[in-house]
Amino acid sequence: MSTSSTLSRRLPFQAHPVDEVGIKERVARLATRSIKKSSKVEGLKLALSMVDLTTLEGADTPGRVRQLCTKAVHLHSGRTDLPMVAAVCVYPTMVRVAREALKGTPIKVAAVATAFPSGMNPLTVKLEDTRYAVGEGAHEIDMVISRGDFLRGDYGRVADEIAEVKKACGEAHLKVILETGELGTLDRVRLASDIAMEAGADFIKTSTGKIQPAATPEVVLVMLQAISDFYRKTGRKIGMKPAGGIANAKAALNLLVMVREVLGPDWLNPDLFRIGASKLPNDILMQLEKERTGVYQGGDYFSND
Amino acid sequence: MTKTSTTIGSDWGYAPAPESADHFKLKDQYGLFIGGKFVPAASGKRLKTINPANEKVIAEVADGGEKDVAKAVQAARTAYDKVWRKMSGRERGKYLYRIARIIQERARELAVVESMDGGKPIRESRDVDIPLAAAHFFYHAGWGDKLRYAFPGKSVSPIGVAGQIIPWNFPLLMVAWKVAPALACGNTVVLKPAETTPLTALLFSEICQEAGLPEGVFNLITGAGSTGAALVNHPGLDKVAFTGSTEVGKAIQKSLAGRGTRLTLELGGKAAHIIFEDATIDQAVEGIINGIYFNQGHVCCAGSRLLVQESVEEEVVTKLKARMESLIVGDPLDKNTDIGAINSKAQWDRIRDYLKIGEEEGAELFQTKCSVPEKGYWIRPSFFTRVAQSHRIVQEEIFGPVLAIQTFRTLNEALEKANNTPYGLSGGVWTDKGAKIFKVTRGIRAGVIWANTFNKFDPTSPFGGYKESGYGREGGRHGLRPYVELS
């Protein structure tokens, strides 16, 4: 599909205006929730179970991916009370390695596709990229939207592309990355969320992790509200995945608070909420060990994979 | 999506996170603060002040009478004549700055006491009441030596002794609203706090001592309504400032008639909160919550009448219900509490009466399903739909977490309904269109109108009402006017 039809170009997406000042206030208020003691420990474990443990480097090797998969299963030596992470997220060429390494575990393998991270390739290439990753065994596909088309106002084309990729996914679940750091305004974040959900996303995801800002609380809140509206309208529960820059336990707990108060407890599980991260688990582990032993341990007591 | 893991998250919640109250010690008994010293009431009578969240007595305070009022007014007069009026504005400002700083230093203690005595959630006393009280002193401290510039071309002098009566909804903040401008302009003060919430005003008296404020510049008489009447009826006052109910405000105005004592009144309200179909609905819902459930609805400028454009009524009401269910009602000292206790038994009874009246009038009541503690005075966040302009729950101020929801079709209809009330204190409008904001704000007769936000306060911004909401302004340059003589 080289050009989008006039019809789809004019697809009517109802604007849901967002007030940035109001969003900031709500974010600030949610950040004042006090999460202590048992609710902190439970919350941190819950967050671990939602992590998409990620490595997306040009320098990734099969060995490195295998290491990461081991970490995904055994987060910290000597602790048996910890959950496994939800998924491991890799480039398409590493999917097979990850599937092998995770055999026999419930951990999913997610692959970034569609010319990640820029999306600057023709749709045919993007679809082939997707089919390849699915063929290698990916359970989940993390695609990027075409920000250029979106910012130009060609919403129909963005929607069509998502729908095509969804088809190419087959059984695999589709996460649609909006790359909010390139969208500029919260109004656009909201519109892109609506388009992605209408076009067939199973999850909407903030960022690739390659661009800053990434998963700011403001962006997450706007996307959660979009999911809430979509659910009310269609009865379909769409998942949410903030990714990029979520490096500490406090930020993770804050995300859980936002999900709980905006979407409700139904969304507080890895089927509907994921956190894309690479460094986050170690900070959470540090906090959990502190809660267990009463003292903080240095970074060298936690494995870096 | 197939289940990838257990759904342990569905019951994840917040553990209790109570703010500790062991970093300070309240006295068992407090006296009146007259001439820089704490003294018992002449009658020896005392009142108990209780914690509305558990009905326990926190402390006993003196029940001031006519004799005490006379002593306090005399002390204020002496301080006015001998010290305060003669002092340079810059020197007066110095004391106000000191008071502001001590309020900040003792902020945590003041916040906890405010929540214990009045039932408001610690989140609000910590983040709103106490910081704003300090801000009012900072702001007015700056005016001390600049009054000439506030009223260009005029010669500015103080009025004399001010009698001030404040309500129980924002106890320390109302002390600041009243005392800071009065003192900055060179007047001295006799203040009576509300019967149910005297404690932070008493701590404020300690702060005045700590700041070295000259004796008699600030005096405090605790007591009930009769004490307030004794203060208003004292012939030695040059100025009376009252914040409270319209009923009492009218009585005060009657008793001052013909006496030449100046008066400002900040009374009740029944604000219209207008949501247009082009509003940012999620933020508007947040604004509605902030408008009516802030401080358990004990806010004179609360957005207690919601006017929603009919095309978005269903969406707004559905979202409002969902948001209300996430409000945490309970222990005011818990840092996660959104809605605290109703301030007193009397107010609790009054609100419950209105809930009954609303249902009897045929309106449909919605209340959240949250559980509330057994002891103490609690009302679940509530609203009425199917209400008419003639209903008492639309016309009268309830002063609780009870919202009346109506719809409108056109802008003019919204304005008509908004203005069809004896009150005129505040209002709110939500729309994405700037021009509409100006049309609405010009069309509503109210002292403050918020656009795309609600319940925002700042010392630089004047606050006050029209019609039965009173007259006179507090805050900003306008707020200095009632405390100065211009020539």
Question: Would you state the pLDDT for residue A78?
Answer: 82
Residue A2, pLDDT > 60, answer no
Rounded to 10 degrees, the C-alpha dihedral B477/B479/B485/B487 comes to 30
CATH number where A101 lies = 3.20.20.70
Q: In angstroms, what CA-CA distances link A156 with A12, B180, B408?
A: 9, 60, 35
Cβ atoms of residues B27 and B59 within 8 Å:
yes
Q: Report the alpha-carbon distance of residue A130 to residue A176 in Å, rounded.
A: 12
Contact B134, B124 (CB under 8 A): no
pLDDT at A6 over 50: no
Give the whole-angstrom CA distance, residue B383 versus residue B239.
39
Looking at the complex, report in whole angstroms how far the Cα of residue B14 sits from the nearest Cα belonging to chain A.
6
How many Å is the maximal CA-CA distance in chain B? 82
- The two three-digit tokens of residue A291, written as one number: 């809660």
Q: pLDDT for B301-344, tens place per residue?
A: 999 999 999 999 999 999 999 999 999 999 999 999 999 999 99
**Cα–Cα distance, B10 to A236 (Å, whole number):** 18
Which residues of B are less than 8 Å from A107 in CB distance? 4
pLDDT digits (tens, 9 = 90+) for B176-207: 999 999 999 999 999 999 999 999 999 999 99
For an interface test with B, give the residue of A25, A34, A194 to mutate (most B CBs within 10 A).
A34
Could you list the beta-strand ranges (E) of B137-209: 156-158, 161-165, 188-192
Asked if B12 lies within 8 A of A40 by C-beta distance, the reply is no
Place of tokens 């095309």: B311
Q: Could you tell me which residues come within 8 angstroms of residue B199 by beta carbon, excluding any fewer than 6 positions away? A: B26, B30, B49, B58, B59, B61, B113, B114, B116, B117, B171
Q: Token pair of B466, please? A: 């029209």
**H or E segment at B254?**
helix B246-256
Whether A205 is catalytic: yes
Picking from B7, B14, B318, the nearest residue to A39 by CB comes out as B14
- What's the rounded mean pLDDT across residues B259-269? 96
Per-residue confidence at A3, pLDDT binned at 50, 70, 90? very low
A84/B5 touch (CB, cutoff 8 Å), yes or no:
yes
A22: chain B residues, CB-CB within 8 Å: 280, 282-283, 286-287, 452-453
Taking phi first (over 0 means left), then psi (-120 to 50 degrees means alpha), and beta for anything else, what does residue B295 get?
Answer: left
> How many alpha carbons lie under 13 Å from residue B427 in its C-beta half-sphere?
27
Question: Which residue from B9, B14, B322 is facing A33, i.e. has the nearest CB?
Answer: B14
Please state, in angstroms and rounded to a whole number, the distance separating the CA atoms of residues B147 and B485: 11
Nearest CA in chain B to A36: B15
Q: How confident is the model at residue B3 (pLDDT cuts 50, 70, 90)?
A: very low
The answer to whether position A70 is within a domain reads yes
Write the DSSP symbol of residue B280: -
Could you tell me if B358 and B384 are in contact, meaning their C-beta atoms sit under 8 angstroms apart?
A: yes
Q: How far, CA to CA in Å, does A253 sit from each of A156, A284, B30, B338?
A: 36, 10, 44, 19
Whole-number Å distance between alpha carbons of B268 and A153: 50
d(CA B464, CA B448): 7
Nearest residue to A3 via CA among A160, A129, A201, A193: A160
User: Which residue, chain included where needed, has tokens 């970034």?
Assistant: A112
Classify residue A12 as exposed, middle or buried by CB count within 10 Å of its CB (0-12, 13-18, 19+).
exposed
Q: Is the pLDDT of residue B299 over 80?
A: yes
In a domain, A32, yes or no: no
Cis peptide before A213 (omega within 30 of 0): yes
B8 and A46 in contact by Cβ < 8 A? yes
Contact residues, chain A, for B322 at CB < 8 Å: 228, 264
Instruction: Please provide the size of chain B in residues.
Output: 487
- Domains of chain B (ranges; CATH) run 29-267+469-486 (3.40.605.10), 272-458 (3.40.309.10)
Name the band, by pLDDT with cuts 50, 70 and 90, for residue B8: low
For residue A139, tell me if it sits in a domain.
yes
Q: Is residue A192 part of a domain?
A: yes
| Token code pair at residue A139 | 């359970």
Average pLDDT for A24-42? 95
Q: What is the pLDDT of residue A7?
A: 41
Q: Which residue from A minimizes the CA distance to B288?
A: A22
* Tokens at B3, concatenated: 């289940």
Helices (H), A185-263: 186-198, 217-234, 249-262
Complex ipTM = 0.92
3-state secondary structure of B456: coil
Pick the catalytic residue from B19, B124, B185, B300: B300
pLDDT of amino acid A4: 45
Task: Please tell me the distance in Å from A107's CA to the nearest CA on chain B.
Answer: 7
pLDDT in tens, A57-71: 999 999 999 999 999
> What gap in Å lies between CA A301 and CA A285, rounded to an integer?
10
Whether the Cβ atoms of residue B184 and residue B96 lie closer than 8 Å to each other: yes
Residue A10, domain member (yes or no): no
Question: Whole-angstrom Cα distance, residue B3 to residue B6?
Answer: 7
Q: How far is A62 from chain B (nearest CA, A)?
A: 25
* DSSP one-letter string for B42-107: TT--EEEEEETTTTEEEEEEE---HHHHHHHHHHHHHHIIIIITTS-HHHHHHHHHHHHHHHHHTH
DSSP summary character for residue B19: P
DSSP A209: S
DSSP code of residue A213: S
Above 70 in pLDDT, residue B9?
Answer: no
Residue A285 lies in a domain: yes
Whether residue A1 is contained in a domain is answered as no
Establish whether B301 is a catalytic residue: no
Distance, in Å, from the CA atom of B448 to the CA atom of B455, rounded to the nearest integer, reads: 10
Amino acid B11: pLDDT = 81
User: Mean pLDDT over all residues of chain A?
Assistant: 94
Q: Which residue has the tokens 């003292």?
A: A295
Which token pair is A282?
Answer: 């170690």
Contact yes or no for A175/A201 (Cβ under 8 A):
yes
Q: How confident is the model at residue A11, as a pLDDT?
A: 53
Q: What are the backbone dihedrals phi and psi of residue B110, each rounded to the nearest 5 degrees, phi first?
A: -60, -40
Give percent of chain A above pLDDT 90: 91
Q: How does pLDDT run across B120-148, given as a tens digit for each residue?
A: 999 999 999 999 999 999 999 999 999 99
For A270-285, what is each residue's pLDDT tens digit? 999 999 999 999 999 9
Helix (H, G, I), strand (E, B) or coil at A33: coil
Encode pLDDT of B220-240 as tens digits.
Answer: 999 999 999 999 999 999 999
The torsion defined by the Cα of A163, A168, A173 and A179, in degrees rounded to 10, comes to -60
Q: Which of A166-170, A301-305, B50-54, B267-271 has the lowest mean pLDDT?
A: A301-305
E strands within chain A?
Answer: 51-54, 87-90, 108-112, 140-144, 173-177, 203-205, 239-241, 275-277
| Summary count for chain A: helices (H), strands (E) | 12, 8
Residues of chain B in contact with residue A225, where contact means CB-CB under 8 angstroms, are 282
Asked if residues A227 and A204 have their Cβ atoms less than 8 Å apart, the reply is: yes
Nearest CA in chain A to B13: A39
Query: Structural domain tally of chain A?
Result: 1
* Amino acid B4: pLDDT: 37
| Closest-CA distance of chain B to residue A72, Å | 13
Contact A269 B283 (CB under 8 A): no
Catalytic residue chosen out of the listed positions A142, A154, A160, A202 = A142
Rounded CA-CA distance B451/A2 in Å is: 46
Residues 6+ apart with CB under 8 A from A162: A143, A145, A174, A176, A195, A196, A199, A200, A201
pLDDT digits (tens, 9 = 90+) for B352-400: 999 999 999 999 999 999 999 999 999 999 999 999 999 999 999 999 9
pLDDT at position B7 over 50: no
| A22 with B453: Cβ contact below 8 A | yes
Mutation target for B interface from A16, A18, A19: give the one with most B CBs within 10 A. A19
Q: Which residues of chain A make contact with B317, given a CB cutoff of 8 A?
A: none
Question: CA of A138 to nearest chain B CA: how many angstroms apart?
Answer: 14
Whether the CB-CB separation of A220 and A206 falls below 8 Å is answered with yes
B163, B240 in Cβ contact below 8 A?
yes
Domain ranges, residue A57: 37-292
Catalytic residue among B266, B313, B397, B468: B266
For residues B471-486, average pLDDT: 97
Residue B240, SS3? strand
| pLDDT-above-70 percentage for chain B | 98
